[in-house]
Structure 1
């Protein structure tokens, strides 16, 4: 006999405006408990000191997490000039200081090197794995690492404000795997004045925005009540970046069993990744071939 899962078979997205001072995993666990959900995950972690969009998937929506994680994200952040820290943000130990401060024109000129396809070395205090261990765990033990640079797409990096000589506020829109702290660190080095993140806020992630997101106070107040389901967004929002293919009734039945199923014609081409829907609900994600979707993920809704 199969093992009975604990909790409710609830599926969908919950978008939290994460406050500063709490880790992403703690928020995910709290939301999972509040909804009494069988399964939960998130589409991109935020540092404990960061605020803004933390997109949490419940139940079958966890199967759509990779598509949100791969999407663009937008950050607003402040770079503090004049000091490099161990974590590349204000929570770390100051390693070095500088009395140099950049001009507005100097900042604008330096930002050009951080747009488009760039290579970025993650912060020492980051979640990347080094020989099976998280970098932040090794950093806490005082181990210095030579982390490998990783590719990153930066679609936009622009000045929002220059409140004073010591700071600049920036907006960055980037792809998967971007570290804002690394941008602040590298910008400070490029300007010859050192730098770190003073504060950071994720304003949107894929289809999800901070405006209208639930607060942790709301989660606490509505925890384990029927009213909390009003905060749940459709699973299908996690598939916004993929084309939708309506399935025939027979095609939907086949797809639900993990077999290729017939979908209605569309503009997608042979070999494209897409998702099939039936009566407005997601049935499966897969590859389109000659009138059928060949499923890689099937939703049990």
Structure 2
């Protein structure tokens, strides 16, 4: 069975689940999941996990992400992007310098009210289901972090390209909406491309067409997700036996505490573990069926 990670450059018009369904057909396996959902209009980096690598999805979802987004000033929609219904349209007399001047207000830890057109559940119901029924419910503001925010290009009097580096849970279209509100003319998102997620970039991605041709050979090893952690190769038969049985094992080296990629004596990636003192404890195993 196929095991590993594939970084897909998601095409516009596809849901993240559409991509997984396509890959199930290409790889002839059902065990496929993705990290970090992209809306249909968005393109770019979508990490997809296959086989045993699906155990790593939770580790991939929480990291920083980077986007290149199109901000359109003067237009407010019910979805906060150009695919929604227009609510207001206003003349725009904002200069690039004025836009850049408000961006520091949206950098660092900020509060966002999730859009009604989102998959967040309130009382067991997804917000977008309620929104499609014409209903609006109160949503609690959520704290997110914007690590970097800059204007990359001015396309027209109303359209700008922004680069955003942000935490998990950030709604870029809400960011565009809120920037427009701060400028007094309204705004929404007209394009979105994710350029980095889970530490993987567009340069490491492949298209679905390339996947169709290359298949399983294009899968990355599961341990590539944890390449920022140091590695540790087991030294003794007893260490490996304890590790493979899910038990903590001891090390003799004086190593700094933290997370480690653990490899068997033959070089097989076994697990992600945490070292405390001289004891290595598994966080997630990636061997076996």
The reply to whether TM is greater than 0.5 is yes
**Matched residues, number:** 286
Matches within 5 A, 1:142-291: 142-219=134-211, 221-222=212-213, 227-249=214-236, 250-263=238-251, 265=253, 267-269=255-257, 272-278=258-264, 279-291=266-278
- TM-aligned CA deviation for residue 263 of structure 1: 4.3
Question: What whole-Å deviation, never above 9, does each CA across 1:103-145 have from its counterpart, x for those lacking one?
Answer: 1121111100111111112221112111122212221122112
The answer as to whether partners of 1:61 and 1:238 remain within 8 angstroms in 2 is no
- CA distance in structure 2 between the partners assigned to 1:256 and 1:145 by the alignment: 49
The residue matched to 1:211 in structure 2 has which SS?
Answer: helix
Residue 80 of structure 1 corresponds to: 72
Question: What whole-Å deviation, never above 9, does each CA across 1:35-70 have from its counterpart, x for those lacking one?
Answer: 122411111010100000111011111122222211
The answer as to whether partners of 1:247 and 1:264 remain within 8 angstroms in 2 is no
Matches within 5 A, 1:19-34: 19-34=11-26
The answer as to whether partners of 2:92 and 2:158 remain within 8 angstroms in 1 is no
Q: Which residue, 118, 121, 128 being the options, matches 1:126?
A: 118
- TM-aligned CA deviation for residue 202 of structure 1: 0.5
Question: What whole-Å deviation, never above 9, does each CA across 1:122-171 have from its counterpart, x for those lacking one?
Answer: 22111211112221222112211222111112111001011111111100
- CA distance in structure 2 between the partners assigned to 1:151 and 1:63 by the alignment: 27
The answer as to whether partners of 2:92 and 2:157 remain within 8 angstroms in 1 is no
- CA distance in structure 2 between the partners assigned to 1:245 and 1:236 by the alignment: 12
- CA distance in structure 1 between the partners assigned to 2:101 and 2:240 by the alignment: 54
- CA distance in structure 2 between the partners assigned to 1:264 and 1:98 by the alignment: 68
- TM-aligned CA deviation for residue 228 of structure 1: 1.1
The residue matched to 1:236 in structure 2 has which SS?
Answer: helix
Please list every run of 5 or more consecutive structure 1 residues that lacks an aligned counterpart in the other structure: 1-7
The answer as to whether partners of 1:124 and 1:136 remain within 8 angstroms in 2 is yes
- CA distance in structure 1 between the partners assigned to 2:210 and 2:77 by the alignment: 35
- CA distance in structure 2 between the partners assigned to 1:235 and 1:264 by the alignment: 27
- CA distance in structure 1 between the partners assigned to 2:58 and 2:256 by the alignment: 20
- TM-aligned CA deviation for residue 266 of structure 1: 5.8
The answer as to whether partners of 1:256 and 1:299 remain within 8 angstroms in 2 is no
- TM-aligned CA deviation for residue 34 of structure 1: 1.3
Please list every run of 5 or more consecutive structure 2 residues that lacks an aligned counterpart in the other structure: none
The residue matched to 2:224 in structure 1 has which SS?
Answer: helix
Q: Which residue, 17, 37, 40 being the options, matches 1:45?
A: 37
- CA distance in structure 1 between the partners assigned to 2:228 and 2:113 by the alignment: 28
- CA distance in structure 1 between the partners assigned to 2:108 and 2:58 by the alignment: 22
Q: Are residues 162 and 289 of structure 1, via their aligned partners in 2, closer, same or farther at CA, if it must alter by over 3 Å? A: same
- TM-aligned CA deviation for residue 33 of structure 1: 2.4
